[in-house]
Amino acid sequence: MPPASGQPSPLGATFLTAEWRDLVMLNYEVHPGLLHQHVPPGTTLDSFDGKTLVSLVGFRFCRTRLFGSFAVPFHLNFDEVNLRFYVRRKVGDENRRGVVFIAEIVPRPAVAMLARLLYGENYVCLPMRHSVAADSSARTVQYSWKLQGQWCRLIAQTSGLAALPKSGSLEQFITEHYWGYSKQGASGSLEYHVTHEPWRVWASTTAAFEGDMAALYGPELAKVLQGTPDSAFIADGSPVTVFKGALLS
């Protein structure tokens, strides 16, 4: 079990606290060769049941604070959509399971600038909007963003009750990664720690992505996203803590 949000990290001080809510997660199997150029040095591609996956994820940042307490005006609540894949890194007896972001979209320029500066992440600032509709038996969550004059859309619908993922399930594999990695130049990598409680998930009855993301993700990954997701679900989310990163030696 990872440490709860806010507990000490092996990598130092807190950079950001927030809540991540209403996470839509569409998962696609890809050929590993599509990701090799994005793998940070010091990490290796991870897989689930022998499948290499990318996830297109939309969620809401809520109650965002820098350095544990500092609130930036007009940047408390905003959306994010990212395309990510999964890696691991062996540190002593610990097997650190992490994510790598191919690109991240936010509507706030200050967020994009700070993430690029401090973490070397490929953040872009685009117009965004979301909608969440829920009752006792169903939930529909949608995230949209405008790229090159066209609106793209990520949507999922669920029914029934949310539950914690079963041990060893795909849902647990996707949601329980507590490390982030990014490439730094030609041969460097940054590692940072993220903590949160395990999330409850709803299985998706309908999920889809609409749009052309070739300008951001490249033509091959954009083609993957045009297909039907291999799996999809919505996670409720929780408070999170993102710690300052450290360069891998």
pTM above 0.85, yes or no: yes
From 187, 22, 192, 11, select the one nearest 101 (Cα to Cα). 192
Query: Within 10 Å of residue 82's Cβ, how many Cβ atoms?
Result: 19
pLDDT at 13: 87
pLDDT in tens, 132-182: 998 877 899 999 999 999 999 999 999 888 999 999 999 999 999 999 999
pLDDT in tens, 182-224: 998 878 999 999 999 999 999 999 999 999 999 999 999 999 9
Which residue shows structure tokens 């993957």? 224
Asked if residue 154 lies in contact with residue 209, where contact means CB atoms within 8 angstroms, the answer is: yes
List the chain domain ranges.
Answer: 14-240
For β-strands 123-125 and 150-159, DSSP reports them as: unpaired
* Residue percentage of the chain with pLDDT more than 90: 74
For β-strands 150-159 and 179-184, DSSP reports them as: unpaired
pLDDT at 70: 58
Range with lowest mean pLDDT among 76-85, 104-113, 205-214: 104-113
Helix (H, G, I), strand (E, B) or coil at 162: coil
Q: Which CATH superfamily is domain 14-240 in?
A: Acetoacetate decarboxylase-like (2.40.400.10)
Asked if residue 53 lies in contact with residue 26, where contact means CB atoms within 8 angstroms, the answer is: no
Asked if residue 5 lies in contact with residue 49, where contact means CB atoms within 8 angstroms, the answer is: no
Identity of residue 22: D
